[in-house]
Structure 1
Amino acid sequence: MISTQAWADAQRLWDFQQMGHAPRPCSVAIGLGSHDLGVADTTADLYHRGMMPLIVFSGATSRTTRHRMPRGEAEHYRERAIDLGVPADAILVEPRARNTGENIRYSRALLEKHQTFVSSVLLICKPYEERRAYATARKLWSDVEWVCASSSMALPDYVDSIGDPRLVIDMLVGAQQRLMIYPRLGFMIEQEVPDVVKSAYERLRDNGFTSRLVPET
């Protein structure tokens, strides 16, 4: 049973971890692989709205996806987008990345290999990973403009779509931890974290929502 306080804290993290960008036309979109096929759905929708001429889906597998996406996250995303009407020749697949940093580095290398000029990137991910992905991308590829996008869903609706409330809260906590510790490790740019967000994170962490935390050194 998840307490009312835990849900309130999860909502606080959910709100903070979204960037609030308005999607606009960009040179390319990069869809970050994960357990959530909604990323592919959002990417397909933005493609049909004319927001980008080319898509890179990036992602191998993880402990969360190796059974549900055995061909790799990027490949399952590609198949989903094609089912939703995106032309196959508008999609590039980057199948090796296992974290957000690799998503950005490997996607950049793939675009360079295809001699694609990039001045702006529509970065598409899960709703609670917008800020983390943005901070990582700004650190690793600083000379392009980044615009974040994700499924437009309220937290309860997102939880229903995933079907595992504890997993979603664990993911929120893990994303928040990385936002706070990765800048000093050189993995992403520094961003100010309000005290109310830090407190919400600490309460959730102390109440056992820890399965997606990384060791702190």
Structure 2
Amino acid sequence: MTNTSRLGITDQQWADTALLWDYQQMGHNLRPCDVAIGLGSHDLGVAAETAGLYLRGLVKRVVFTGGPNPSRPAAFPRGEAVHFAEHAVALGVPESAILREPNARNTGQNIEFSRTALAEAGVRVSSVLLVSMPYMERRAYATCRRVWPEVDAVCTSTPMDLHDYVKSIGDDRLVIDSLVGDLQRVVVYPKLGFAVAQAVPGSVLDAYRRLIDAGFTGRLL
């Protein structure tokens, strides 16, 4: 990205953000799975991507999970799962294929509560497509490996580059803060028992620390 100094974000900071962006996507190859779980977030693109996976025949059932969104509470006043499900229906997913899980407040609960909802609905699951925001794939994967280790997890998100994602959200600082906050969780959550540990390259950690020093701390724990 260039010509960003007018926004108070330097080219070096965008380069550091791009390092985090690339690392936090898993690069998994899509394949058919038993269900897709659309993880609640501030990004309605998760709902659209999940709907697309269903319409392409990659899954037969969909779970949308999440309560009120702390970052953008006015965007989904009835909770993430409700609004995401409605968006998917509008895109052509039948109501009968959707389960709503409206109580989760974090990623661990997203996966744990979705697992419970699927079991209660009598859906047998050996593989899941975890659909998240692009920068959240790695944390979603690590969390699933901890909370639901028996299942084969494939991570995906709306395919787009960082520049296009920032434009779609419309809030540069929120995106950078979110990438920094998610990487912190990738590093810290294994120590708290919330996720499995993953190696983080030194270049990514250096970029992360520079962004924190520059004040992109709005989503840190």
Q: Common fold, TM-score beyond 0.5?
A: yes
- 1:64 and 2:71 aligned: yes
The runs of 4+ residues in structure 1 deviating greater than 4 Å are: none
Runs of 5+ unmatched residues, structure 2:
1-7
Kept in 1, the 8 Å contact 2:69–2:76? The answer is no
CA positional deviation for 1:62:
2.6
- 1:190 and 2:197 aligned: yes
CA distances 1:17-39 after superposition (whole Å, capped 9, x unpaired): 00001111001110001110000
Q: For residues 150 and 76 of structure 1, what CA distance do their matches in structure 2 show?
A: 18
Q: For residues 185 and 71 of structure 1, what CA distance do their matches in structure 2 show?
A: 31
Runs of 5+ unmatched residues, structure 1:
none
In the alignment, which residue of structure 2 is the partner of 1:109? Answer: 116
Paired residue type of 2:140: A
Paired residue type of 2:200: V
Q: For residues 197 and 8 of structure 1, what CA distance do their matches in structure 2 show?
A: 11
CA distances 1:149-188 after superposition (whole Å, capped 9, x unpaired): 1000000000000000000000000000000011011000
TM-score, normalization: structure 1? 0.98
- 1:73 and 2:75 aligned: no
Counterpart among 140, 143, 146 of residue 139 in structure 1: 146
CA distances 1:62-111 after superposition (whole Å, capped 9, x unpaired): 32232110011011000100010000110000000010000011001101
Counterpart among 192, 207, 216 of residue 200 in structure 1: 207
In the alignment, which residue of structure 2 is the partner of 1:25? Answer: 32
Kept in 1, the 8 Å contact 2:101–2:113? The answer is yes
1:1-217 matches, cutoff 5 A: 1-214=8-221
Kept in 1, the 8 Å contact 2:141–2:153? The answer is yes
Q: Percent identity among equivalent residues?
A: 58
What is the aligned length? 214
In the alignment, which residue of structure 1 is the partner of 2:4? Answer: none
Q: For residues 132 and 31 of structure 1, what CA distance do their matches in structure 2 show?
A: 14
Paired residue type of 1:186: G
Paired residue type of 1:193: V
Paired residue type of 2:130: L
Kept in 2, the 8 Å contact 1:65–1:73? The answer is no
